[in-house]
Amino acid sequence: MAWTLLLAAGQGNRLASVTGGLAKQFLDWKGAPLYWESALVFSRCARVEGLVFVFPEACIDEERERVAGLMRNASLGIPWKVVAGGALRQDSVRNGLSALPDDCMEVLIHDAARPFVSPVLVNRILDGLHGEASGECVAACIPGIPVVDTIKVMDEEKKVVATPDRKHLMAVQTPQGFSLAFLRAAHQRAEQEGWVVTDDASLLELCGHAVHVAEGEAGNKKITTPEDLEMLRMTGERIPCVGYGYDVHKYADGNEARQPARPMRLGGVPIAGSPDVLAHSDGDVLLHALMDALLGCIGAGDIGTFFPDSDPAFDNVNSAVLLDTVLEHVQISSHGYDLHIDNELVAEAFASLPKDEQSILILRFVLDLTDEEIGRLMGMSRSAVQRHRTSTLKDLRIKLMAFMPEGG
C-alpha cells in the first residue's frame, strides 16, 4: 500500500499579483481550497492508504482545523496527517516523509497546484512501480507527456547553443511514485552533497537509479500563471448530466436455445440459490444498467451498440470487464465527469460499509482476484481476507434487508 504526500507549502509568487497575495493552493474552488480536490481524488483510489498534507509552517494550525472541518462534510475515508513544509520543495518532501508510518512501502508525491489529476493516472503510476510494464518492481515511476514545441538551449547571453531532438523529451508531471526506501536514501544523500532539485525523480537520477516514465495526462495541468486561472473558472462549476439505465434478462426454464443460461450475478456478486438467467454475456443486470446509464449520460448509445450479443467475443464475458471499457470511454476523472451512482438499495448499503470492506468485495467479486492476491494488495493474510469477506457479506445482507420495505 502507498501513502500520498500532498505538497501545499509553496508561496505562489507568480500568481500573487492577481490573487491578492493568496497562495494558489488556497484559492477557493468548488467551495473548498484548491488542494482539497487532489485530496479527494487520492482518497478514491483503493491502493492509497493515507495522506500527508504539507502546509506552510505559518498557517499549519489554521489549515489543520480547515481540513478537519472539510472532513465533516466529505470524509476522505483514509488516515491523514498535517506537517509543516520547509524553505525549498525538497525540504517539504523530506518533512512529509518523516511523517509516514513505519509499514509504508511506497509514496506518491503530488503538487496541490495540479487539481485535475485523475484516479486513472494514480493507478497507472502505482502499476509502473510494481513493474507492470518492465516485469519487475522499480525505484521510481513518473508521469510524462511528449513535448510538442521545439526546445532551445541558450547560454547566459540568450544565444541558442543547442536544439535537442524532442522525440527524446518529455514534460514531467505529478504524482511521482517511489519506493520509500530509495527516496529516503536519496534525500539523505542530497543533504550530504548539497543537491538542490526541482523534483524528487532528479534525486534518484543523481543517485544512479533508473526512473521509469508512464503515460501522463494532457489534462493534468499545473496552475502556475494568471492565464491558468481561466481553467479553474471553466471547470469550477459542473453542469449536471443524468443518465438512466435499465436491463432485463429472462429466467431460464431449460427450453430456450438461442441464449445460454448463466448463474445470476448482481454487481459482480454471485446470488446463491437464485434461478439462472438467459444471457449472451454473464447477465449481470445491475452492471448492465449502470453501463447504459453512463453511456446515456454522455449520449454514446447503449451497451447493445458497444457489446452486441452477436459478437462471440462477449460470450459469457464478465460484465466488470465491459464496465472497465465503458469507464475508459467516458473518461471518469476530476476534470471530466464526476460519477455518482445510485443503484438504490445496493448502492446505499454498499456505501455504508467501511472502505477496506468495500475494497475486499470489489477486488474479489468484480476484479476476480484470489484471497491471496487481495491479501498482498491490502497487507492482510489470506485467512484475514476470508474472515473480512464473510463478515462483510453478512453485514451487507443485513443492511439490504433493513432497507427493504415491509413485505419484501
Tens of pLDDT, residue by residue over 120-144, are 899 999 999 988 666 677 999 999 9
The answer to whether the beta carbons of residues 142 and 217 sit under 8 Å apart is no
CB 245 within 8 A of CB 293: yes
Q: Which three cell numbers stand for residue 207?
A: 543517485
> How much is the pLDDT for 133?
61
- Provide the whole-model pTM: 0.65
In DSSP terms, 196 is beta-bridged to none
pLDDT of residue 405: 47
Strand 176-179 with 106-111, pairing: antiparallel
Task: Name the phi and psi angles at 14, rounded to 5.
Answer: -70, -20
Confidence (pLDDT) at 257 = 59
Shortest CA distance to 247 belongs to which of 290, 307, 305?
290
Pick the CATH number of 2-235 from 3.30.870.10, 1.10.3660.10, 3.90.550.10, 3.40.50.300: 3.90.550.10
> How confident is the model at residue 335, as a pLDDT?
42
Structural domain spans, the chain: 2-235, 344-403
Is 3.40.50.620 the CATH classification of the domain at 344-403?
no
**C-alpha count within 13 angstroms, C-beta hemisphere, residue 118:** 23
Q: Give the pLDDT of residue 294.
A: 87
User: Would you state the pLDDT for residue 187?
Assistant: 97
Collapsing DSSP to helix, strand or coil, 179 comes out as strand
Question: Residue 92 corresponds to which cell in the numbers above?
Answer: 517539504
Locate 156 and state its grid cell.
Answer: 547566459
Q: Which residues does the chain have with pLDDT short of 70?
A: 132-135, 235-240, 254-258, 331-348, 366-368, 400-408
Largest Cα span, the chain: 85
